[in-house]
Amino acid sequence: MKITKICCIGAGYVGGPTMAIIAQKCPHIQVTVVDLNRERIAAWNDADTVNIPIYEPGLSAVVAEARGRNLFFSTDVAKAIDEAQMIFISVNTPTKTYGSGKGMAADLKYIELCARQIAAIAKDNKIVVEKSTLPVRTAEALKSILDETGNGVQFQILSNPEFLAEGTAVDDLLAPDRVLIGGDSSAAGEQAVQALVDIYANWVPLDRILRTNLWSSELSKLTANAFLAQRISSINALSELCEVTGAAINEVAKAIGMDSRIGPKFLNASVGFGGSCFQKDILNLVYIAKSYGLTAVADYWEQVIILNDHQKRRFSNTIVKTLYNTVSDKKIAFLGWAFKKDTNDTRESAAIYVADDLLNEQAQLAIFDPKVSRNKMLADLDYLATRSSKDNAKNATSFDEPYSACENAHAIAVLTEWEEFRAYDWQRIYDKMQKPAFVFDGRNLLDRAALEAIGFVYFAIGS
Ligand SMILES: NC(=O)c1ccc[n+]([C@@H]2O[C@H](COP(=O)([O-])OP(=O)(O)OC[C@H]3O[C@@H](n4cnc5c(N)ncnc54)[C@H](O)[C@@H]3O)[C@@H](O)[C@H]2O)c1
């Protein structure tokens, strides 16, 4: 089956970049990305592609090339579903905030809504691709909804989880470590898998396209995120031990990373992982393990989250303790709010939780992030509902540039590893700060020797 029309439901951090690359690499395929969020779609259609709603290095150029040619963004979900032969579901799957599984299970209401809409609209056979990260065996539920409520149309369901990392999404999509496609072993299932393989084969070498059964594919995505997060919690756990023993975490990381069985990546100790995926996917894994009665497995993975929460809290406690046990009315500058560099995504960013702790201690926060707006910062704090919006707005101020944010501050906390922070005029910053001037480097980003030579009291995690 030759695919010429694709639709993707969900124009978020996954749907937008993924479809932009498919459109760029497959000019013969018409790709329509739809979303219920009108503002988001309007931003994707902004005349100047610099204003697209997601910041990713290189993405605006890809969109500029393909948009209007074979890449379209629209709010007309029904039309796009009707016209497409292949439909990617790339909607959000957050942790449930109500009912059974609250705080752990994935909330599949958006997925189910998509399935019902596809079933209601489809008049000819469709391939439905799970792009969202889903609990293992979700395809079964999807199939049942599609088959029971459809008009006798044949649906094939594929699992094609996305492994891109925010901040490097374009590079990851252009040269993925692997593309994973799970499908049914029936003849029709294999044809559907082949149709998707043919799309990726336009730019991905065939030996990087992996075919598995549906359940292996669904579970592999959760497992990959769990392993990545576990590695961060492992190094972070040791960072605390380094601080009390005189070992330096960077030295330990280098020493163990040179063991080829361990490898050097993802060994940077930090204030903790954030992002929309790691926590929610591990919680989901824990929930699935529990639901099969596998308590030891569930407890093992849950510890990754417990350690991550501990690391964030530990960082804010260190700031308070070091500033003579009080930060009340002290100005603390935050460099960074995004959960990592090269993205404007702030979901579950460690900065939010450190800010919340310090606001509880009555600190005055001055925040600068190169890509995050003031409204977003305040919305993140308001979402925690720890205090009123008015109090958040009064005590957390955002700045358009770093030097004013740091002026008169008692301390600077580095929360995101933006490269540009290294290149700042740190002498100028020091001169305008309260003394002693502290830097709490939550990302092990800055040059300790250079900052100490200027006169800063420098704290880095794990040393
Ligand atoms: N963000 C990442 O780095 C990443 C990486 C790999 C996988 N994932 C997974 O991909 C999925 C999407 O993540 P995201 O970060 O792109 O989420 P997102 O919140 O940025 O985007 C999801 C979009 O879907 C839209 N949507 C929801 N229901 C809809 C419906 N019925 N019809 C039309 N639009 C609808 C929302 O309005 C939203 O714009 C999640 O399952 C996530 O776990 C995310």
Atom of ligand 1 at shortest distance to CA of 163? Answer: 6
State in Å: Cα 66 to ligand 1 middle: 21
pLDDT at 149: 83
State in Å: Cα 276 to ligand 1 middle: 10
State in Å: Cα 339 to ligand 1 middle: 17
DSSP calls for 221-236: HHHHHHHHHHHHHHHH
- In this structure, which residue's CA is closest to atom 43 in ligand 1? 133
Which of 7, 9, 13 to probe ligand 1 with, by most ligand atoms within 8 A of CB? Answer: 13
DSSP calls for 123-169: -S-EEEEE-S---TTHHHHHHHHHHHHSSS--EEEEE------TTSH
Closest to 94 (Cα-Cα) out of 382, 348, 377, 416:
348
Closest to 395 (Cα-Cα) out of 421, 347, 363, 422:
363
State in Å: Cα 210 to ligand 1 middle: 23
State in Å: Cα 94 to ligand 1 middle: 9
Q: Annotated active-site positions, please?
A: 277
pLDDT at 141: 93
pLDDT tens sequence for the chain (463 residues): 799 999 999 999 999 999 999 999 999 999 999 999 999 999 999 999 999 999 999 999 999 999 999 999 999 999 999 999 999 999 999 999 999 999 999 999 999 999 999 999 999 999 999 999 999 999 999 999 999 887 889 999 999 999 999 999 999 999 999 999 999 999 999 999 999 999 999 999 999 999 999 999 999 999 999 999 999 999 999 999 999 999 999 999 999 999 999 999 999 999 999 999 999 999 999 999 999 999 999 999 999 999 999 999 999 999 999 999 999 999 999 999 999 999 999 999 999 999 999 999 999 999 999 999 999 999 999 999 999 999 999 999 999 999 999 999 999 999 999 999 999 999 999 999 999 999 999 999 999 999 999 999 999 999 9
- Pocket lining for ligand 1, CB < 6 angstroms: 9-15, 34-37, 40, 77, 90-93, 110, 113-114, 132-133, 162, 164, 166, 276-277
State in Å: Cα 157 to ligand 1 middle: 18
- In this structure, which residue's CA is closest to atom 12 in ligand 1? 92
Give the single-character DSSP code of 345.
-
Atom of ligand 1 at shortest distance to CA of 169? Answer: 3
Which of 21, 32, 35 to probe ligand 1 with, by most ligand atoms within 8 A of CB? Answer: 35
Q: Which residues contact 82 (CB under 8 A, 6 or more apart)?
A: 121, 122, 123
- In this structure, which residue's CA is closest to atom 23 in ligand 1? 10
pLDDT at 37: 98
State in Å: Cα 44 to ligand 1 middle: 15
Burial class (CB in 10 A: 0-12, 13-18, 19+), 190: middle
Sheet hosting strand 396-398, strand order edge to edge: 396-398, 364-368, 331-335, 411-414, 438-441, 457-460
Which of 54, 90, 130 to probe ligand 1 with, by most ligand atoms within 8 A of CB? Answer: 90
Burial class (CB in 10 A: 0-12, 13-18, 19+), 261: exposed
State in Å: Cα 327 to ligand 1 middle: 38
pLDDT at 151: 81
Burial class (CB in 10 A: 0-12, 13-18, 19+), 105: buried
Which two three-digit tokens encode residue 148?
């029971």
What's the rounded Cα separation, in Å, for the pair 149 and 79?
A: 19
pTM above 0.85, yes or no: yes
State in Å: Cα 446 to ligand 1 middle: 34
